[in-house]
Amino acid sequence: MYVTDDQGLETLGIYGGKDVPTPHLDSFAKQGVYFTHAFASASSCAVSRANILSGQHGHVNGMYGHAHGKHHFSSFDNTLSLPNRFDARRLPHCTSG
């Protein structure tokens, strides 16, 4: 899985971008899943990123705005990121291999 940030449609060939050749990413997308109608769940990049990486909305993961020190925003301590959710060692009901 790849997660990118602040990437517009014009940056990948799979979405019609022509400025930068992306044959490997285009091939990867064609073999898997890519979205043609997806929307951000929040206007803040930090909140959107936390939502994607936790699989939860901001009111569940605790991220309500930019994660700068002056705002004091951060995810709740018990929020698991996707890499941790996919780690079979953290989820006893999952098996790997």
Catalytic residues: 45
Task: Give yes or no for a contact between 78 and 57, defined as CB atoms under 8 angstroms apart.
Answer: no
Task: Give yes or no for a contact between 81 and 55, defined as CB atoms under 8 angstroms apart.
Answer: no
Task: Give yes or no for a contact between 11 and 34, defined as CB atoms under 8 angstroms apart.
Answer: no
d(CA 75, CA 72): 10
